[in-house]
């Protein structure tokens, strides 16, 4: 406790974790943008080492098949509802949410805050080093004063032990408060879970395609398509070879899994 005349600053209050709800067996935070940003800021202020997963249908359904991804989601500090279908599903289960926490928008809002507060940012991901440079330039132009203290675009394969050690040293040497990770699902969730014990940065956030969007490499769906839950169709039209198998595989599985959960929930409510 701080006493009269003491010059020691009071420690930040402990972070209060948000309420969550299970959606196809994955805990999802019942949270909005401001709440998610406040959680990130609280972790930075307290030096609490954790990570945030930005979840959509693909993330949830892939976790049912990949134990390491599921372990990563269960061990995160926060899983936010990135996809509009997740918001609709949570609403049907009796958890009122007005909006999703869309990864690219979360990153943009957090960078805007960081430009005001002085939080230090590290960027890990991107299609290649050129794309990462363009992302860095765009963020600095949009958020004057932002402190981007480092970045690395890894190869599209597993890192060697030497490469992994070099990445750890680079991130820790940068003094970053937040590491934004854009290497796609499920690689980024697994990477955060594996690397979390070795990194000094308080917060890691996996945002997938946000790097491509903010670098200007891939266009974002119009707002009306996002609100209608049709972003997947827009992205499929622009990247059919990369995405068609994902949507064909996981979207129907999510509908069936959620239908079973909703039926069980309503049956239990009727007693």
Query: For residue 198, what is the DSSP state?
Result: G
Averaged over 210-237, what is the pLDDT? 84
Q: What is the largest CA-CA distance in the chain?
A: 66
Averaged over 126-155, what is the pLDDT? 96
Q: What's the confidence (pLDDT) of residue 51?
A: 98
Confidence of residue 230 (pLDDT cuts 50, 70, 90): confident
Specify the range with the lowest mean pLDDT, choosing from 98-112, 162-176, 225-239: 225-239
Q: Are 182 and 209 in contact (CB under 8 A)?
A: yes
Q: What's the confidence (pLDDT) of residue 66?
A: 96
Please report where in the chains the tokens 């990864």 appear, as a residue.
103
Q: Is 112 helix (H, G, I), strand (E, B) or coil?
A: helix
Q: Is the pLDDT of residue 3 over 80?
A: no
Q: Is the pLDDT of residue 7 over 70?
A: no
User: In Å, how far from its chain's centre is CA 35?
Assistant: 14
Confidence of residue 1 (pLDDT cuts 50, 70, 90): very low
Q: Which residue has the higher pLDDT, 28 or 240?
A: 28
Averaged over 230-245, what is the pLDDT? 78
Q: Are 29 and 78 in contact (CB under 8 A)?
A: yes
Q: What's the confidence (pLDDT) of residue 71?
A: 98
Q: What's the confidence (pLDDT) of residue 11?
A: 60
For 20-227, which CATH class? alpha beta
Q: Which residue has the higher pLDDT, 268 or 177?
A: 177
Q: Are 86 and 23 in contact (CB under 8 A)?
A: yes
Q: Domain limits of the chain? A: 20-227
Phi/psi at 269 (nearest 5 deg)? Answer: -70, -30
Averaged over 186-204, what is the pLDDT? 98
Q: Is the pLDDT of residue 9 over 80?
A: no
Q: Which residue has the higher pLDDT, 166 or 244?
A: 166
Averaged over 150-177, what is the pLDDT? 96
Q: Is 56 helix (H, G, I), strand (E, B) or coil?
A: coil
Q: Are 205 and 123 in contact (CB under 8 A)?
A: no
Q: Is the pLDDT of residue 27 over 50?
A: yes
What percent of the chain has pLDDT above 90?
A: 76
Q: Which residue has the higher pLDDT, 42 or 224?
A: 42
- Rounded Cα gap, residues 195 and 204, in angstroms: 10
- Rounded Cα gap, residues 141 and 217, in angstroms: 16
Q: What's the confidence (pLDDT) of residue 10?
A: 55
Radius of gyration of the chain (CA): 19
Averaged over 230-242, what is the pLDDT? 79
Please report where in the chains the tokens 């363009």 appear, as a residue.
134
Q: Would you say how long the chain is, in residues?
A: 271
Residues 6+ apart with CB under 8 A from 1: none
Q: What's the confidence (pLDDT) of residue 241?
A: 80
Closest by CA position to 43, among listed 74, 81, 12, 73: 12
Joined together, the tokens standing for residue 196 give 């979390």
Specify the range with the lowest mean pLDDT, choosing from 62-76, 125-139, 197-211, 230-244: 230-244
Q: What's the confidence (pLDDT) of residue 222?
A: 83
Dihedral sign (CA 40, 42, 44, 48): negative
Q: What's the confidence (pLDDT) of residue 227?
A: 81
Q: What's the confidence (pLDDT) of residue 90?
A: 97
Joined together, the tokens standing for residue 178 give 């937040």
Question: Taking all residues of the chain, what is their mean pLDDT, rounded to a whole number?
Answer: 91
């Amino acid at each position: 406790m701080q006493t009269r005349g003491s010059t020691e600053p009071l420690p930040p209050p402990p972070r209060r974790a948000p309420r969550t709800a299970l959606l196809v067996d994955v805990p999802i935070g019942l949270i909005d943008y401001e709440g998610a940003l406040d959680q990130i800021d609280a972790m930075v202020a307290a030096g609490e080492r954790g990570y945030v997963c930005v979840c959509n249908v693909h993330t949830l359904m892939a976790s049912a098949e990949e134990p390491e991804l599921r372990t990563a989601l269960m061990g995160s500090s926060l899983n936010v509802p990135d996809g509009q279908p997740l918001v609709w599903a949570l609403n049907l289960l009796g958890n009122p949410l007005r909006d999703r926490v869309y990864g690219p928008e979360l990153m943009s809002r957090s960078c805007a805050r960081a430009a005001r507060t002085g939080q230090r940012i590290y960027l890990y991901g991107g299609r290649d080093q050129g794309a990462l440079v363009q992302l860095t330039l765009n963020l600095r132009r949009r958020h004057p004063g932002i402190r981007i203290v480092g970045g690395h675009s890894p190869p599209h394969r597993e890192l060697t032990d030497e490469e992994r050690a070099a990445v750890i040293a680079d991130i820790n040497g940068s003094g970053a408060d937040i590491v934004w990770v854009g290497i796609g699902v499920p690689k980024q969730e697994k990477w955060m879970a594996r690397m979390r014990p070795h990194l000094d940065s308080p917060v890691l956030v996996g945002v997938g395609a946000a790097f491509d969007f903010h670098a200007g490499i891939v266009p974002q769906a119009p707002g009306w398509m996002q609100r209608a839950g049709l972003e997947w169709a827009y992205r499929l039209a622009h990247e059919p070879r990369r995405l068609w198998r994902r949507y064909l595989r996981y979207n129907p599985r999510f509908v069936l899994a959620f239908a079973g959960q909703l039926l069980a929930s309503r049956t239990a409510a009727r007693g």
